[in-house]
Structure 1
């Protein structure tokens, strides 16, 4: 064996190690291209053999080529397993109901073509495993199919799949399938939360799936040319070169189409309404912040008089229980009484259950007005009547709002940071809101960042629970207390600068608003290494009093959001804010605080995806209180999508020890 051949084999061994570590289709395609080129160098230049007798070297070279093909197949299979976790084409097919016929037909065609190439590649793997038991004619026939010009053979399948993504004559054949998918995702079906993939991720994964199919096809075709050459069917140097050129052209065009689609695809991701709302599992509530409360005006002033009317009591408190009337039969408001109004003198009141956060189930006035959903009353309804005092003072029962602290008041938000262990190269892979005791916390999941965007999930980072009354815990430092004056939360979608990745989230106070921030850390995409010491906190510090003010998202007569029978879409925008308020009087007797808090985790690909941003959003609709929820922004892969062309030349190499049989 010549010195050059020894060097080539050593280089091939090194290349196999690199292929074993390939984490994405771009790197894998480049390295398989190099593997193919060096394999051509190893098999050498054919020349005529005499006697028509199959030489042992033919079998040896066949085994060498198939061994290298087996190494390539293993690398493809490993990456394929990773991509199967988010098979974009399969997901789109599963969600195809209601889509346009044009898109559905093209997705079906693409799925069929990819499946046929995949089936051929699996058959090739089987042949490689059983090579010692197969007749040469079996391998020869398969190799011939892999390079045949017939439309149904492998090259034809690859060309037809490519034409769906990059139509050769767009003015005749229409737009790219990637563009049709993008239009569908962002216009017809804007919510991908049930898939836990952003449109950007779905387009990127679709590109990966098609690119991996191209790599499979390229490897099968090149190694087929090698086998045919070993079997003495010809030289095939020019054919192999044309295969490489066409693979390079298709890869370049597909990458350009993918970049164009990715640049326009949304990277935002959130959760939709679950099949069933379950308190403590899918949502939680802020309680006893603002709640409907019945109080007679005689008990709202220290003099015990009825000189004023209900509207006078915009800010008051309970001063007693006059003559042990209805006040004796309900839990009094231990805090501030706000925004009282007169509705009618007499009413029937249905008290809530003893373990409920509500005070009343419903209230029905004698004038016919009903607050809440009147019906049966488990604890029995109570007649409540206003009265006259000294003939000219009317002691009216007022409908007010109660704001009170205490064990039943869950209105605290943690201001502590929720971060990944960036010093050990871990990044945020998911975010959720959790309620521990009476306090709402931000919680993150983390994963180890590797080369070229590879993330290994590592689970949820534990949250240290605390109570506002714990020793050493301070308001405005460790937590924020929602009050009538400070009950706004900012709604923003934040993103990291280019070259940065998400490593933390937190709430802080910005004036009277609860404000959301993200921690962003620079990293090297190729190596996957974080620069933890250069992390920075990013926020949108605009206020409602600025020159271009932050706008308020108003809730119109909000009811309890779990009563809504239709999905609640995202109705907030970046640079808005919303206030926690009581539910509507008519709808719910003002007994609940809305919005509710969505505590479903947002974690794309089960913690195996890169994120660059996060936010706080509101999902709701007219007549519903909706949900405050977290959202994520997935990493922008656009600038990393580029075709790596295989090496250009297949040079014949003289090898003294190889003489394939010629039939």
Structure 2
């Protein structure tokens, strides 16, 4: 049953109960026809797509205010009341109930914002939290939403609610109390665009006391407003933003939506209250209703102007914090035994079994045997691989053989007491002697080299197969992560159906399965350059780091790795999208990437990892330190710190999914780390830039808020 049908059924029963004469009946029906059309116009304006608050409130404002300022509704309602003497207040209440659907939909989309704001508030130092004003914003918003919940309850229970309750509610909404809706809306607006009344919170400019200086500083912050304050915080504390669930731009944009939605709720309650009080014959309230409309227009316009200005300056990139409780294959992924520290005597590094050279002479070598079955007989050999970068530390040592599946040693302690690695208790029987010896005048030294040996223990493969959204279902990429399947690292995408205005159907979101790959472990096999996976080796182990952005009006629909100049390079597939209906033109999709190499005119720069320990030992959260037109090489961890046993950097395996889901227009690969540690390679995503879709209503009566702020 639609809204109009329900109205006429309700009217019919009311007329039967009223037992009116034919003349009055004709007059009521004529008036009711006009009222139904009028309420339908209100419903159409509020439920129309153009009033989604998400940047489009200004576009629908003229239609909405034109309807609400029309005096016919009050006149028709009063005439209806005089004629019927029955339940006019309930009928108006029922009509306002129809307006809730659109506002409720906005509430659901903004549900994650309050979680993000609360999380952010908890992170902030008390002084910063006060200066930014988040506590105050949340304090002002909650009672407005609470009263709106009561408003909805009265709509649902309109047949049982007493007239006195409704009258008291209406008086509370429009009273001059500091806790009334009108007062709260202006206090909230002053937090966005502070007016002269905010000066009462500051001390005189000529104050010289410490307390006075602090208040003057507070004055500066107050005059900037919540959007500017938030912007300043997000820029200063940029490294902490990964705790949020959205990009800085999306966060401020959603904050604007929340403020605009709160204003819309308050305005609806105020207009209802004027209408109800007129029905109860408490006055005409035409002028009050008109002033409320003008105030609403002013607040909406000024908020939109400031929000648009600030949002245009904010980053739309979103990423995840490196998890402080790492779990392999859940929060991070690592390649294994790509290059690994390996103890070998130089006598086994040449076919003549001589000791005439030094360890450093063997920059690229092989292991040709195990002389006299000494220490080499106790370890996992590297006789099927290649050895690189050999070096000599000391002659005689004790080696703790590791029980971990992808390590050879836990630590090495030399006769002099020198230790490499982190000394822990070594299992009984796992400590082995590795001593050098003399052969006549030549010293047969134990070297430490880097072993590059493919095999069942070495996970060193990267899928080159594209991960593309299901175009037949109208899907786009909504998230991304690294996964390891069958020793091969894949890009896995999350996909979902695109909706209008940057939205995604959350119920359609799913992870697209990766296609299994069986790699060839034979190091002597010729790797086909057209194969669907890449193999990391000493010669080719670089991963390009880039920020890839789609052209304006495009979204990401696919990702893949490719080989480029011996590097693994990221590409993304993008397609045009219609903002107002969410339609994707898959036929015009293209792959884009950064084709620069170290040999290009605009050459890539290598990220240097100096003496890196395993990322698992990092003392603080790794922060982004590289990621645009750069590259990182996978390498062995520090010999001094970890005996070179770990392949670093790791890959961050956490899913990068903005909440609520939005169109994604960019993908980045970055390195996050701390000095002296291997760090992580992580994904970032760019959310759709909504700046151009925050429409500012044309209003000559409203001055430029930016100018007002700068001239206060």
Instruction: Describe the shift of the 1:526–1:101 C-alpha distance in structure 2 as closer, same or farther (beyond 3 A).
Output: closer
Deviation at 1:141, TM superposition (A): 3.0
Contact kept? 2:400, 2:431, Cα under 8 Å: yes
Task: Tell me the alpha carbon deviations over residues 57-112 of structure 1, each in whole angstroms, 9 at most, x when there is no partner.
Answer: 354542332112111123322321221133254343333345515425x2222111
Alignment of 1:591-610 (within 5 A): 591-605=645-659, 608-610=661-663
Deviation at 1:20, TM superposition (A): 5.0
CA distance in structure 1 between the aligned counterparts of 2:494 and 2:364, rounded to whole angstroms: 44
Deviation at 1:472, TM superposition (A): 14
Task: Tell me the alpha carbon deviations over residues 172-193 of structure 1, each in whole angstroms, 9 at most, x when there is no partner.
Answer: 7421111111211221353222
Give 1:560's aligned residue. Answer: 614
Contact kept? 1:410, 1:438, Cα under 8 Å: yes
Count of aligned positions? 640
Q: Is residue 129 of structure 2 the alignment partner of residue 93 of structure 1?
A: no
Q: Secondary structure at the match of 1:543?
A: coil
Give 2:285's aligned residue. Answer: 236
Of residues 341, 347, 350, the one that matches 1:292 is 341
Give 2:626's aligned residue. Answer: 572
Instruction: Describe the shift of the 1:31–1:547 C-alpha distance in structure 2 as closer, same or farther (beyond 3 A).
Output: closer
Q: Is residue 600 of structure 2 the alignment partner of residue 550 of structure 1?
A: no
User: Which one has more relative contact order, counting CA pairs under 8 Å at least 6 apart?
Assistant: 1
Task: Tell me the alpha carbon deviations over residues 393-426 of structure 1, each in whole angstroms, 9 at most, x when there is no partner.
Answer: 2221111111011111111111111121234221
Q: Is residue 380 of structure 2 the alignment partner of residue 331 of structure 1?
A: yes
Give 1:397's aligned residue. Answer: 446
Give 1:654's aligned residue. Answer: none
Task: Tell me the alpha carbon deviations over residues 341-384 of structure 1, each in whole angstroms, 9 at most, x when there is no partner.
Answer: 1222211111111x521111111122332211124211431112
Give 1:223's aligned residue. Answer: 272
Q: Is residue 534 of structure 2 the alignment partner of residue 468 of structure 1?
A: no
Alignment of 1:232-381 (within 5 A): 232-333=281-382, 334-353=384-403, 356-378=405-427, 379-381=429-431
Q: Secondary structure at the match of 1:264?
A: coil
Instruction: Describe the shift of the 1:18–1:222 C-alpha distance in structure 2 as closer, same or farther (beyond 3 A).
Output: closer
Q: Secondary structure at the match of 2:677?
A: coil
CA distance in structure 2 between the aligned counterparts of 1:584 and 1:47, rounded to whole angstroms: 81
Instruction: Describe the shift of the 1:267–1:25 C-alpha distance in structure 2 as closer, same or farther (beyond 3 A).
Output: same
Of residues 128, 139, 144, the one that matches 2:171 is 144
Alignment of 1:175-190 (within 5 A): 175-190=224-239
Give 1:533's aligned residue. Answer: 587
Give 1:622's aligned residue. Answer: 675
Give 2:432's aligned residue. Answer: 382
Give 1:120's aligned residue. Answer: 147
Contact kept? 1:36, 1:222, Cα under 8 Å: no
Deviation at 1:17, TM superposition (A): 6.5
CA distance in structure 2 between the aligned counterparts of 1:32 and 1:130, rounded to whole angstroms: 30
Q: Is residue 561 of structure 2 the alignment partner of residue 507 of structure 1?
A: yes
Contact kept? 2:670, 2:682, Cα under 8 Å: yes
Deviation at 1:261, TM superposition (A): 1.6
Q: Is residue 102 of structure 2 the alignment partner of residue 75 of structure 1?
A: yes
Instruction: Describe the shift of the 1:267–1:164 C-alpha distance in structure 2 as closer, same or farther (beyond 3 A).
Output: same
Deviation at 1:296, TM superposition (A): 1.2
Deviation at 1:547, TM superposition (A): 2.3
Of residues 75, 86, 100, the one that matches 1:45 is 75
Instruction: Describe the shift of the 1:472–1:56 C-alpha distance in structure 2 as closer, same or farther (beyond 3 A).
Output: farther
Task: Tell me the alpha carbon deviations over residues 304-327 of structure 1, each in whole angstroms, 9 at most, x when there is no partner.
Answer: 222222122111111112222222
**TM-score computed with the length of structure 1 as normaliser:** 0.90
CA distance in structure 1 between the aligned counterparts of 2:527 and 2:44, rounded to whole angstroms: 54
Q: Is residue 158 of structure 2 the alignment partner of residue 157 of structure 1?
A: no
Contact kept? 2:35, 2:76, Cα under 8 Å: no
CA distance in structure 1 between the aligned counterparts of 2:78 and 2:479, rounded to whole angstroms: 63
CA distance in structure 1 between the aligned counterparts of 2:40 and 2:520, rounded to whole angstroms: 65
Contact kept? 1:203, 1:262, Cα under 8 Å: yes
Q: Secondary structure at the match of 2:326?
A: coil
Q: Is residue 542 of structure 2 the alignment partner of residue 485 of structure 1?
A: no
Instruction: Describe the shift of the 1:399–1:558 C-alpha distance in structure 2 as closer, same or farther (beyond 3 A).
Output: same
Task: Tell me the alpha carbon deviations over residues 136-184 of structure 1, each in whole angstroms, 9 at most, x when there is no partner.
Answer: 3332332233223443321111001000011125987421111111211
Contact kept? 1:32, 1:72, Cα under 8 Å: no
Structure 1's unaligned 5+ residue stretches are: 649-663
Deviation at 1:583, TM superposition (A): 0.7
Give 2:637's aligned residue. Answer: 583
Q: Is residue 199 of structure 2 the alignment partner of residue 168 of structure 1?
A: no
Contact kept? 2:627, 2:668, Cα under 8 Å: no
Contact kept? 1:420, 1:428, Cα under 8 Å: yes
Give 2:216's aligned residue. Answer: none
CA distance in structure 1 between the aligned counterparts of 2:338 and 2:112, rounded to whole angstroms: 43
Instruction: Describe the shift of the 1:47–1:287 C-alpha distance in structure 2 as closer, same or farther (beyond 3 A).
Output: closer
RMSD, matched Cα: 2.8
Q: Is residue 52 of structure 2 the alignment partner of residue 24 of structure 1?
A: yes
Q: By percentage of residues, which structure has more helix?
A: 2
Contact kept? 2:324, 2:621, Cα under 8 Å: no
Q: Secondary structure at the match of 1:184?
A: helix
Structure 2's unaligned 5+ residue stretches are: 1-27, 199-218, 702-712
Contact kept? 2:400, 2:432, Cα under 8 Å: yes
